Amino acid sequence: MTRQVLLTGGRVLDPSQGTDVVTDVLLGEGKVVAIGRNIGQPDEALVVDCEGMIVSPGFIDVHCHLREPGRADVETIASGARAAAAGGFTAVCAMPNTDPVIDNPAAVGFVVRQGLLANAARVYPIGAISVGQRGEALAEFGEMIDAGAIAVSDDGKPVVSAQLMRTALEYARTFGVPVIDHCEEPTLAAGGAMNEGLVSARLGLKGIPDEAEEIMVIRDILLARLTRSHVHLAHMSTKGSVELIRWGKERGINVTAEVCPHHLSLTEDAVEGYDTNAKMNPPLRTAEDVAMLRDAVRDGTIDLVATDHAPHHYDEKEREFSNAPNGIVGLETALSVVVDSLVVPGYLDFGTLVERMSCSPARLFGLPGGTLRKGAPADVTIFDPSVRWKVDPAQFLSKGRNTPYAGMTLTGRAICTVVGGEIVYTLNEQRDAK
């Protein structure tokens, strides 16, 4: 039996029940026990002073790459889960594009077990859509879901065959899980290293047009209509994709979508100077795309924010731009980037931020959490909404250091992360440990 935890004097912000009030929260036996001013203070309770902080249901990242099995030199499930907790995430969903691919129940069980051992953020496996992510035969969704998978995806690669995508959507509907697609028309995107436009023309880098994403976005929306299944579109990056998702939602099609913090804050200009930490897929786009994506997060066309946390080894990024791998780490900067690029300029209030980073992912993916209702899992994020801090990748708990935000000063930071009623991260302890 774990010690009770009393979070005192914080601004408790829980859009799932319309709560926004300065009060106390009592956690016990892994669950939310009570919220209120006069809930008492059990003698043995651990008291956390949350004055000036926001206390919200724990953030959930539905899209990260934890690299284990296969590349434990770059990230492990344990280091990724600790990095997640340091970023205020109480749960993360691990993409299956590891080596070997998570395409069978034994592999799913491995991720579940490593996640439990990490004793940090919860780790939910995502199973592959196709065996080996080869885009041919369907993987065993049912077996993987029984073993703990919460969705299926071939992320890292698109599902090229429309027929396979149709079948995956139909089959996943049987088991009630979403199919997550990485929208990229592979022949249009082939060899591309950045957004196609004036900057790519000047830098002499092969561009990836918006249409490479949008063609697959509309295909998937139409297949979701055909199958009446839930399709979730990963890492949306273009204005056109937002328009297409809006079109789909207006027609009642079961499409949901995510956007990454970097697509809400940076443009293709970050590639100037051939900075490989500005290389990701989909690529950074234009200011017009960023503005549209911000609007879409506010109005809910984009349902949630996900990191696409993608650690790479220093040596792999320290090379010629076209030869460097795609992706950046994101777990430990996501909250701050969203605060800085959406809340500070007034696009978003903190309530909507919590909705997009906690309530919405829990609801859409059928995960525990996303609420502080009495009896809900005691997964809580406590963050300082206004602290300014300078990003120093050397301090990351992730093994990855590949971030375009190094040296930047950002706003807002997780102070304490509670998972199942246990404090798994405090900023002060991280500081003391260093």
Partner 1 sequence: MTAGAPLGKDLLGLEPLSGEQITLILDTAEPFKEISERAIKKVPTLRGSTVVNLFFENSTRTRVSFEFAEKRLSADTVNVSSGASSVSKGETLVDTARNLEAMRIDMVVMRHPSSGAAAFLAERIESNVINAGDGTHEHPTQGLLDLLTLRDHFKKIAGLRVCICGDVLHSRVARSNIWGLRKLGAEVAVCGPRSLLPSAIDDMGVTVFSRIEEAIEWSDALNVLRLQLERMTAGYIPSLREYNRFFGVTRERLERAPRDVLILHPGPMNRGVEIDSDVADGPHSVILPQVTNGVAVRMAVLYLLSGGRPELAEAAKTGKAGGAA
The continuous run of DSSP H or E covering 163 comes out as: helix 162-175
- Shortest approach of partner 1 to residue 194 CB, angstroms? 10
Shortest distance (Å) from residue 205 CB to partner 1:
5
- Strand bridging mode 179-181 / 5-14: unpaired
CA angle 184, 112, 140 (to 5 degrees): 55
Build a one-symbol-per-residue string for 7-36: x at contacts with partner 1 by CB under 8 A, - elsewhere: ------------------------------
Q: Return the CA Rg of the chain.
A: 21
The answer to the question of residue 392 lying near partner 1 (CB under 8 A) is no
Among 1, 18, 99, 204, the residue binding partner 1 under the rule CB under 8 A is 204
Cβ-based neighbours of 201, under 8 Å, separated by 6 or more:
207
Among 198, 226, 287, 291, binds partner 1 (CB under 8 A): 198
Q: Would you say 258 and 234 are in contact if contact means Cβ atoms under 8 Å apart?
A: yes
207 binds partner 1 (CB under 8 A): yes
Q: Residue 59 corresponds to which amino acid?
A: F
Of 137 and 287, the one with the shorter C-beta distance to partner 1 is: 287
First to last CA, the chain: 31
Per-residue interface string for the shown chain with partner 1, residues 305-334, x marking contact by CB under 8 A: ----------x--xxxxxx-----------
Q: How far is the CB of 65 from partner 1 (least distance, A)?
A: 24
Greatest CA separation for the chain: 67
Q: Which of 155, 181, 289, 308 is catalytic?
A: 308
Does position 390 interact with partner 1 (CB under 8 A)? The reply is no
Known active-site residue 308: yes
Spatial distance between the Cα atoms of 268 and 434, rounded to a whole number of angstroms? 34
Query: In the set 14, 61, 75, 196, which binds partner 1 (CB under 8 A)?
Result: 196
Q: How far apart are the C-alpha atoms of 217 and 300, rounded to whole Å?
A: 17
Closest approach of partner 1 to the CB of residue 62, in Å: 33
Q: Could you say which of 23, 104, 130, 200 contacts partner 1 (CB under 8 A)?
A: 200
389-407 burial, b at 16+ Cβ within 10 Å, e below that, comes to eebebeebbbbbbbbbbee
Q: Smallest gap, in angstroms, from Cβ of residue 273 to partner 1?
A: 7
Q: How many residues sit close enough to partner 1 to count as binding (CB under 8 A)?
A: 21
C-alpha span between 405 and 51 (Å, rounded): 28
CB of 288 to partner 1, least distance (A): 14
Count the neighbouring beta carbons within 10 Å of the beta carbon of residue 418. 25
- Residues facing residue 390 across a β-bridge: 409
The smaller minimum CB distance to partner 1, of residues 44 and 320, is found at: 320
For the record, the structure tokens of 212 come out as 């490479």
Span interacting with partner 1, options 52-60, 110-118, 205-213, 396-404, rule CB under 8 A? 205-213
Instruction: Work out the number of other CB atoms within 10 angstroms of the CB of residue 315.
Output: 7
Whether the Cβ atoms of residue 232 and residue 151 lie closer than 8 Å to each other: yes
Q: How far is the CB of 104 from partner 1 (least distance, A)?
A: 34
Alpha-carbon distance of 145 to 177, in angstroms, equals 9
Q: Point out which span in 15-23, 195-203, 333-341, 413-421 binds partner 1 (CB under 8 A).
A: 195-203
Residue from 116, 201, 226, 291 in contact with partner 1 (CB under 8 A)? 201
Per-residue contact flags (x/-) with partner 1 for residues 261 to 280, judged by CB under 8 A: ------------xx------
Binding site for partner 1 (CB under 8 A): 196-198, 200-207, 209, 273-274, 315, 318-323
Q: Catalytic residue numbers? A: 308
